A and B are shown apart, each in its own frame.
Chain A
Amino acid sequence: MSNYILKYGRDERVKFISHLDFVRCFHRAVRRSRLNFVFSQGFNPHPVMTIAQPLPVGVTSECEYMKVGFVTDMSCGEIAAELNRCMPPGFKVYAVYKLEGKEIDLTKINSAEYMTEIECSAPADTQALMRETELIVPKKTKSGIKESDIRPHISELEDLGFRDGIQTVRMAVSCGSAYNLKPETVVEAMKKYCPGFEPVFTASHKRRMTADGAEIL
């Protein structure tokens, strides 16, 4: 009985699955596998697992993390292969790490890097945007929609070009429990602060999640 850190991702095929549906989907994958969950003690036992960040509907990713308890003799490589055998097509487990103690803390994750495609008639000037000292946009919080300055939470914003009506940008933004910034909110700011930029539709892919600049796994 050990705790493991999994690094996994999902592609276009399964990007519309909600966070809760993914949790159930993962439970079922483990039930199909030769792995066994560690169950919580108590009146209504449930598998012990913690997902670092809920992945929003519509976003693909190659850098999700979870901590999960398994009862198994398999090696980390075998666990990854077994999960990949049992997950529905479109999910992939990249790496499995067996925790000795608390050497990896998923709650320390504080930055995420996204590739975002924006359908628009003319591209936004991202360099001009990054020269702004504040970017005030409405942001959803637990207590409703509030005006928030997101500028301190964008560490990088790079224009990767505009082709066939699609502007692609790479961005590194705050994520985690302290402050979580979604790519769409950055696009909101681009719309507000970049004259002539009218986004029609946005699609994002999460590439990296880091804790104080370092990748977890």
Chain B
Amino acid sequence: MITLKDKILSGVMKPTRYTGGELNAVIKDASKVDIRFGFCFPDVYEIAMSHLGMKIIYHLLNEREDTWCERIFAPWEDMERQMKEHGMKLFALESGGEASDFDILGFTLQYELSYSNIVNMLRLAGIPPLASERGDGYPLIYGGGPCAYNAEPIADIFDFFMLGEGEEQIHETVDVIKQWKKEGGRSKKELLQRLVKIGGIYVPSFYDVDYNSDGTVKSIVPNDPNAPAVIKKRIMKDFDAAYAPDKIIVPFGEVVHDRVMLEVMRGCMRGCRFCQAGYIYRPLRERKPETLLDLANELLGCSGYDEISLSSLSTSDFSGLPELTDGLLKVTEEKKIGLSLPSLRIDNFSLELMEKVQKVRKTGITFAPEAGTQRLRDVINKNITEDDILKSTALLFAGGWTNVKLYFMIGLPSETDEDIKGIAELAGRVLGVYFDIPKEERAKNISITVSTSSFVPKPFTAFQWFPMDTREELVRKQRLLRENIPSKRIRYTYHDNKTSYLEGVFAHGDRRRCKTIIRAVELGCKFDGWNDFFDFELWMRAFEETGIDPDFYTSRERSYEEVLPWDHIDAGITKEFLIRENEKARAAKTTPHCRLECANCGAARFGAGVCTEKRGVRGE
């Protein structure tokens, strides 16, 4: 039988993005569950299916008999056209059912440039994008993930947000919604008043934001007696025992991270001052190697994947790494499975480890010194030295690697032209390390790539008060760096600064920005993270038409006294700590990592992970 689905799918690229039916996808009877939950990822299938958080929430919810969690992703442009042509609405992959029939749609907020896709998905679902325009009878729309910590630019779209780690919170939320439905599903407001009592739930409509005449935020005050003045993030205290799925969906087409991912740690102990993830996921918590080995065997067995990768913010800081890799290598060698270790640091880089995991192909390796001079690396608290970098690359070259990528940021606070030139000089010295190896002992065809992205100050970092460099200044610095690259053997690539600029506007945005996003989508903006779709001029038009000056959010240095749009959110670290870090950055003073010395960031109140380990000089 020829079906409408056949016709639609014959007209699109990669139709398996939309068919569902993958191995380990969960199929239930919609009439036999109490809650239909749509996990929404505002990007295309290949990105969405690479996301570890989705795998956790998907299987965690589907273990409940009363809930069916399905996947809902952003259709690519060709599919969107087909859907509009045939009057098809946004649908879930498992049942093919329409998104608007769900009880809850949970969006994961991974990066600011996906905001336009959220609005576009709601439009495709026939759901009004503004929460205030959605009466009872529409699905509840909520958001979680790193961008929920400053979700103000999209606050008017969402009914509520979940702050922090969702494994417990989501169960509590589903329980409340189920009970509310059972009681007859009275007004949404009444439901939100119940939900807001769950720790970490932020209901934006329960807060009034006032502004000063200069455009800055004056105050953020609850307008509902149930809403807390400050919303605290949730974490999984016992990370080793935290839920980890023992099944994963295996896509038919190739996705970005097409492998088993083992989440070995959460959080990071380093405290790089630009890094939002390093602050908001505190404290560092680890899983036990034996827990991970069991999980690895389960996941490899149920998926048939031939590659496994360790996932964390800084894999080489994982204290169980030698034990884990030894255990994994036993399995991977026998079954011809590839093991990859991303996120290794330069300073504790082990060539032995690299040799172990990369037995056959010596593919490229990326290091991230982040800044070109020691002074600036101290400002950002990267805590690696030039000596670390040169020693590690010497080991690599001697081991036969010839493809090294060095990653830096430009536009960092206090950066001077000397720091930019320092990037070129450092790359030159790395090349020198290669030429110092006798010709007969080194592999041929050296390739060094210097790659820069533009620094975007993020909320809940030590740099949240700093302005961003203007686009003109970033272009000048890119040019300056290019001119100073000392050899043709060093390639220089850089990230487009228009998307960084927009990211900066979003990251520091307040509630007034929401109308701009909705307008931009009306004008046609979507998939802003994709070069093929990103239309800067269209965004500038949306700003103009909604009367917003985007520079207001990027070009201002903020005082410590200024009320920040996210001041009612508690991400686990104190503002006093961030101010101390900011001051130390200004003095180019470093802060030791959590295992050496406690920096009193505030995360110790969770009583978990590294905060409870014995360590250096003083405890918290």
Interface residues of A (CB under 8 A from B): 13-14, 16-18, 21, 24-25, 27-32, 39, 43-45, 57-58, 86, 88-90, 117, 119, 166, 201, 203
Contacts and interface: CB of A to CB of B under 8 A. Distances in A.
A14 B21 contact: yes
Contact of A32 (B2, B9, B252, B301): B301
Contacts of A21: 16, 252-254
Interface residues of B, number: 26
Contacts of B23: 28, 88
A29 B16 contact: no
B15 interface: yes
Interface in B299-316: 300-306
12 contacts: A16-B9, A17-B16, A21-B254, A25-B250, A28-B250, A28-B303, A31-B335, A32-B302, A43-B360, A45-B336, A58-B6, A201-B6
Contacts of B21: 13-14, 88-90
B27 to A, nearest CB: 9
Contacts of B15: 16, 57
A10 to B, nearest CB: 11
B1 interface: yes
B385 interface: no
B255 to A, nearest CB: 11
Contacts of B335: 31
B19 interface: yes
A30 B360 contact: no
Interface of A is mostly: mixed
B304 A58 contact: no
Interface string B18-37: 01011100000000000000
A90 B23 CA distance: 10
B304 A29 contact: yes
Nearest to B258: A24
Contacts, number: 66
Nearest to B302: A32
B495 interface: no
Contacts of A25: 250, 252
B348 interface: no
A6 B561 CA distance: 73
A29 to B, nearest CB: 6
Contacts of B19: 13-14, 16
Given A13-B19, A88-B21, A30 B253 contact: no
Nearest to A37: B336
Given A58-B9, A117-B1, A203-B2, 13 more contacts: A13-B19, A14-B21, A17-B252, A18-B253, A21-B254, A25-B252, A28-B250, A31-B305, A31-B335, A45-B336, A201-B6, A201-B7, A203-B6
A30 B303 CA distance: 10
Contacts of B250: 25, 28, 88
B304 A32 contact: yes
A88 B10 CA distance: 21
A88 B22 CA distance: 7
A58 B10 contact: yes
Contact of A119 (B2, B9, B336): B2
Contact of B304 (A17, A27, A117, A119): A27
A166 B301 CA distance: 45
Q: Which of B2, B22, B300, B302 counts the most chain A CB atoms within 10 A?
A: B2
